Amino acid sequence: MKARLMAVVLTVILAAAGAQAGGWSGTYSLTTGSVELTNSQANSSWVPVSVMWKFASPGTGTAEVWRVSGLESFMLSNCAFTNVTTLTWVPDADYPFGLGDALVIRSSVTNGVVQVIRKGE
């Protein structure tokens, strides 16, 4: 009975860990030119998997991705583009976002949306 109980507990722990580490996405309006996603969870962190911009019509401008941690800001990516309707940024490394850290996505073209895909760590 004790071995069976341990197996059930281990299964529940592994299932919970797998659920926490799963990915999720969100779509946000670019009408203000900036989207900020802040980790407000004290006991978890996440990493961005990709950021995708979709404009309603072809645009020319700039796009940036920033990490804000405490009082420090770090540019993770920037891009100048001409006559495009979509852009994609896929990080070349894992950038973990813990409690209070923010992912800031900016675009000078504001007639569209940005989709962010994240995964738990």
What's the CATH number where 79 sits? Answer: 2.60.120.40
Would residue 13 count as lying in a domain? no
Would residue 17 count as lying in a domain? no
Mean pLDDT of the 10-23 span: 43
Mean pLDDT of the 3-23 span: 42
pLDDT at 100: 96
What is the pLDDT of the chain when averaged over all its residues?
86
Partners of residue 56 on adjacent β-strands: none
Sequence-distant (≥ 6) Cβ neighbours of residue 5 within 8 angstroms:
none
Would residue 59 count as lying in a domain? yes
Kindly report, residue by residue over 22-68, the tens digit of the pLDDT: 579 999 999 999 999 999 999 999 999 999 999 999 999 999 999 99
pLDDT at 22: 59
Range of the domain at 56: 22-120
Mean pLDDT of the 75-92 span: 97
Mean pLDDT of the 88-114 span: 97
How many domains does the chain fold into?
Answer: 1
Alpha helices in the chain (DSSP H): 2-20
